[in-house]
Every structure is written in C-alpha cells, then in structure tokens.
Amino acid sequence: MDSWIQGFLKSNVFLKSKSQFFLLAFIMLMLILNLWLLLSNSKRSAEDLEIEKINKVRTAAAESQNPPPISAVENKEAEDRTNPEKIEKIEDPFDEYKGTENPEMMPNRTSQLSMNQKLEEKGLVDLKEYIPGIKIDLKYATKDNFMERVLYKDLDKAFLQPEVAAKLKNAQKELKKIQPEYSLLIFDACRPRSIQREMWDKVAGTEFQRYVASPNAGSLHNFGCAVDLSIVDEFDKELDMGTGFDFFGPESQPRYEKDLFNKGVLNTEQIDNRKLLRTVMKKAGFIPIQSEWWHYNGFYKEEVRRRFEIVE
C-alpha cells in the first residue's frame, strides 16, 4: 500500500491535479481582489462627488461674503432691466384678438374668471411654464403656512410680472451653473391684496405684525414683483436654511446670522445655503431683505409702485 501511495504522489496525475488546484486558487484570489478594488473605488467616487458638491456650494457662498453694494449691482444692470428690447418678450395668448373690430370675438373676461385667469389676463407670467425645471410649492394654496389654512382657493400657479420673471429665469440659470442638480423652489409669488388683508387681520396688533406688510400700501407680492423661495437638491429635498418658510423669529432674519452662528443656533451648512441663494438672486438683479431669508424683491418699492398696478 505504501509503495502505491508513493507511486501516485510521483505520478503526472497528482502533479497535474496539484497545478490545477493552485491555478484555481490564484484565479479566485484575483477575483476577490478585483471585487474589493471595485467597491473601494465606487465608495471613494461617491465621497468625492459629495465633497465636490459641498465645495461648490461653499465657493458660491463665499462670493456673497463681500458682495458689491446693491446700488452698484442695480446700476450695472439698469440698462438691461429697463430697455424693452433686452427684456425677454412674453407671448400674450390674447394677441390674436387685439385690434379686432368685432368685440364678440374677444374671450369672455367676466368677474367669474379664476385668479389664475385674471393674472394671465393682466399679463403676468406663469413661472412653471416659463422657467425650465423650476419647482413650485405654493404654500398659501395649502394649509402649510402661518395661517394654517388654504388662502389661494382659485390660485394654484405662481405668477410674476414679465420683467421679474425674466430675472428669476436668470437666477435659475446661475444656480445651474454652480450646481446643475439644484433648482429654485417657489413658495409664493404674486399675491392678491385680498389675501394680504386676511393675513394682516390675523397679525395686526400682535408681535408678529412686523412680519406682514399692511394691505393699505400693499406688499410687493401684491404687485407681482416679489418672490419667496428656497433651493432643492436633485432629490427635490429642500436645502437646510436653519428655519422653514414663514418662521416668525430672529432665526429667519439675515441681519442676525453672524450672531446666531457664533451662538451655535445656525451652523455652517445653513449659512452657506442661505448665501448660495443670495448669490444667485443678487446676480440676477433681485434685492434681499433683512427680515426673511426667503424673500426677494424684483425692484425697489418706489419703482414698483410707480410702474406697476396692484393686484386686487
């Protein structure tokens, strides 16, 4: 028996089986090594993309650390904003009826029109149709607002004056240059003064009165010249701005950001996200305010009240 075993170990059959075993083991080892490298590279790529995204936001935010005075920005772009030839033309769906001698050909423009139709009639622009990829979440068409009830019963679209809509379109383009996956998210745009009166009635005489414009003079929203907005990522998730929309408190006010950051109330990510929003909006010609991080005016109040009609 011993001689037979010794003979087998010296035979070519054993040597061949031994070689095949080591070859198979080597192949399996290489497969495991390649799989490990693939998983490591995939994880590293995902981390690199996330770091790149954060760096882009911080770079854009840094640009707003020492922005030029608003007046300088306004002066630089004043000619483009006020020159009709340089403002994008918004097609009026009623152009074909203008100048007709037969009044019966005109569409019905009675008081029974919805607010959507009335704003279209006034020449305001539907932002969803006008700006590619923009996101709309009209808070006052839902109960998710400080009034805790639906205010826009026949208004479910976001409208702005044509010149302001053109600025917002440029702001969306600026954001896409910095972070292509991001998009502006609209909370409110043109707001009828009748709704402003409802808001005012709720806060008048309270500590929150300073957060709502009096309907007597009217908010710039009532002229279709102001917009409330934020930013969402590629998953339609809102960037963290430190507070939600319609938050009545110092945490929502840009004037206190530095102090709140030093106290640990606001963190770096929240400040950077707000600065990113300010950067793209200012570049497009919008004017921020110091009491709400989400609110931007298309023009100064004096110009709005001189040039535009209030929406009742």
**Same domain for 32 and 116:** no
| Structural domain range at position 254 | 70-307
CB contact at 8 A, 136 and 128 = yes
Question: Could you tell me what percent of the chain has a pLDDT over 90?
Answer: 62
Question: From edge to edge, which strands make up the β-sheet containing 183-188?
Answer: 135-136, 183-188, 226-232, 295-297, 287-288
Please tell me the predicted confidence (pLDDT) of residue 8: 47
* C-alpha angle 10-16-17 in degrees, rounded to nearest 5: 100
Place of tokens 């440029």: 170
Q: Is the predicted pLDDT of residue 36 greater than 80, yes or no?
A: no
Bridge partners of 23, per DSSP, are none
pLDDT tens for 56-75 read: 666 666 655 554 454 444 44
**Same domain for 158 and 76:** yes
Is residue 123 a part of any domain in this protein?
yes
**Same domain for 95 and 36:** no
Q: Is the predicted pLDDT of residue 80 greater than 60, yes or no?
A: no
> What is the DSSP code (8-state) at residue 92?
P
Number of structural domains the chain divides into: 2
pLDDT tens for 248-304 read: 999 999 999 999 999 999 999 999 999 999 999 999 999 999 999 999 999 999 999
CB contact at 8 A, 289 and 295 = yes
**HSE of 257, CA atoms in CB hemisphere, 13 A:** 22
Question: pTM for this structure?
Answer: 0.70
